[in-house]
Amino acid sequence: MTQALTPTETMILNMGPQHPSTHGVLRLQLTLDGEVVLDCKPVIGYLHRGVEKIGEARTYPQILPYTDRLDYLSSASNNLAYVQAVEKLMGVEVPERAKYLRVILLELNRIASHLMFVATFANDLAATTVFLYGLREREPIMDMFEMWTGARLTQSAMRVGGLGWDIPDGFVAKAREYCVFLPPRLDEYDRLLSGNRIFRVRTEGIGILPPEEAIDCGCSGPTLRGSGVKYDLRRDEPYEVYDQLDYDVITASTCDCMGRYVVRMAEMRQSLRIIEQCLDRLPEGDVIAKVPRAIRPQAGEAYGRVESPRGDFGCWVVSDGGPQPARVRFRAPSFYNLAALPRMLRGWKIGDVVAILGSIDIVLGEVDR
Amino acid sequence: MLEKLKSQFGDAIESAEQIGRELRVQIAARSLVGAARLAKDEGFAYLADITAMDTNEALRVVYRLASLSTGHHLVASILVPRSGARLPSLTPVFRGAEWPEREVYDMFGIRFDGHPHMQRILLTDDWEGYPLLKTWQAR
């Protein structure tokens, strides 16, 4: 009885900005009542570089490498959203071969990014083995990128009108080999994680995000699909050749950390399906359209929109007819997904914070821009 | 969608054009929240982005809503003065408006009335000036 009368105080705990599980420089200001999270205020901006301001002082081709450094785990998606917008402004038609190659690059990037997610998510939940496995399986993709574009992360392979380079000799064989190599490895992770009692206890039913809230908060990607909303820009606003390919849009109805994990695991298998189809159908021809050397789109505005591994990545470009854009805006999925984090955290224990934060798979590079 | 907007808000819809799957409208600030509610009820349930740009004469705030089922976009622009502008916040209609509105304030200095935390988001609280204004020079 005396215990019930003991007054309790709430406590503010700063998690980050230097914390191993924040995946970058993020500070979460947690309001705690004992072990229970009452509220969370994410403090962002530590990586702000002013990319949108820089963009107004650079020519169109010069902006491309900056986009790599937004979501640095999936630079191909960022590149594409930007070049898509410029292509729409200029009315450029991309050659068929370039469209297929772009899809291959995007999907390899998606697998690499999701492998990184599985690796770090498992590591956050103390399953270090999977962390090492995930990075090991990601390595062949990095090698393929290096072979093709010369870079492992910041590829800058997209160009207005197509791609910078055609694939080198031996690439197709390597990609096909990888499509056979990965599925048994994914089965292994499934056994290690989905079949692991500790992993399940820490993810199932934790960090619930109901579908209506997910939509209302502007969430996208696996965070939205993990809440059972079937929305994928590859299917709903198809670009490149996605409307001619056969794949499934994965959702999970559990709305929890497990759901978001399951969606990403299954998406990797779908990406392999897409890559195989593209390799089968890859047409001959040029990889870049004839585009004037000096890119000066006519005055107007256009919006490029890509389903990046994290969700709806948008790029709004406004041209005044000059060699530099009047405005470039990057709509980053992690920015919106992170804004919904406090809703997922409230009421859970402090030990769940790391699991819930890990499950939305943010990249601070694109949050802070 | 455009007919419904026009019948309900009349001359608050200052201009409109349909480009592909994108309906671009320019509306008066007084009808912003009402138009957003109508759009949400009509299926534009997903707030894709809120941003702004400096056109040198005025600031143009741009709201992009998307329909999850049809793939159509509604892009609404509002022109406001270059300094000291205020707009009603969309947070009562779309919860996702909270952060992008803070970013617009951070970068352009436009304040949103009714917003729960109208503070800077990417820059530090003691930052001076609004960097995405064309008159702002990097030091």
pLDDT in tens, chain A (369 residues): 455 666 778 888 888 787 776 677 888 899 988 888 989 999 998 889 989 999 888 999 999 999 998 988 889 999 999 999 999 998 898 999 999 999 999 999 999 999 999 999 988 888 888 889 999 999 999 999 999 999 988 888 999 988 989 999 999 999 999 999 999 999 988 888 888 888 889 898 898 999 999 999 999 999 999 999 999 999 888 898 999 999 999 999 898 999 999 999 999 999 999 999 999 999 988 889 888 888 888 888 999 999 999 999 999 999 998 889 999 999 999 999 999 999 999 888 888 998 999 898 888 889 988
Preceding omega of A210 cis (within 30 degrees of 0): no
pLDDT tens for each residue of B26-74: 998 888 898 899 889 888 999 999 999 999 889 999 999 999 888 889 9
Class of domain B2-86: alpha beta
Q: Are B109 and B116 in contact (CB under 8 A)?
A: no
Contact residues on chain A for B45, CB-CB shorter than 8 A: 215-216
Length of chain A, in residues: 369
Is some CB atom of chain A closer than 8 A to the CB atom of B82? no
For chain B, the average pLDDT equals 88
Residue contact B96–A217, C-beta within 8 A: yes
Would you tell me which residues 34-53 of chain B have a C-beta closer than 8 angstroms to some C-beta of chain A? 45-49, 51, 53
Alpha carbons within 13 angstroms on the beta-carbon side of residue A173 total 3
Q: Which CATH number fits domain A2-368: 3.40.50.150, 1.10.8.60, 3.20.20.150, 1.10.645.10?
A: 1.10.645.10
What pLDDT does B31 receive?
87
**Residue (of A340, A39, A355, A347) closest to A209 by Cα position:** A340
What pLDDT does B15 receive?
81
For A127, the token pair is 């399953």
Q: Are B138 and A53 in contact (CB under 8 A)?
A: yes
For B33, the token pair is 């929240």
Contact residues on chain A for B22, CB-CB shorter than 8 A: 303
Per-residue pLDDT band at B11 (split at 50, 70, 90): confident
Q: Are B57 and B108 in contact (CB under 8 A)?
A: no
Where do the domains of chain B lie?
2-86
Where do the domains of chain A lie?
2-368
Residue contact A218–B122, C-beta within 8 A: no
When CB atoms are compared, the residue of B96, B123, B138 closest to A45 is B123
Residue B22 reports pLDDT greater than 60: yes
Is some CB atom of chain B closer than 8 A to the CB atom of A236? yes
What pLDDT does A83 receive?
94
For A24, the token pair is 């970058």
C-alpha pair distances (Å), A246 with each of A106, A211, A224, A267, A294: 16, 26, 22, 13, 38
Task: Label residue A191 exposed, middle or buried (CB < 10 Å: 0-12, 13-18, 19+).
Answer: exposed
Task: DSSP for A291-348, please give it.
Answer: --SS--PPSEEEEEEEEETTEEEEEEEEE-SSSS-SEEEEE-HHHHHHHTHHHHHTTS
CA distance A208 to A252: 12
CA distance A190 to A252: 16
Beta strands in chain A (DSSP E): 11-15, 27-33, 36-43, 158-159, 162-163, 300-308, 311-319, 327-331
Task: Label residue B76 exposed, middle or buried (CB < 10 Å: 0-12, 13-18, 19+).
Answer: buried
Non-local CB neighbours of B38 within 8 Å, separated by 6+ positions:
B4, B5, B8
Contact residues on chain A for B120, CB-CB shorter than 8 A: 45
CA distance B66 to A274: 26
Phi then psi for residue B55, to 5 deg, are: -95, 10
Query: Cα–chain-centroid distance for residue A103?
Result: 15
For A29, the token pair is 């200001």
CA distance A47 to B79: 30
Q: Residue A34 has what DSSP assignment?
A: T
Radius of gyration, alpha carbons of chain A: 21
By CA distance, what is A367's nearest residue in B?
Answer: B122
H or E element at residue B27: strand B22-27
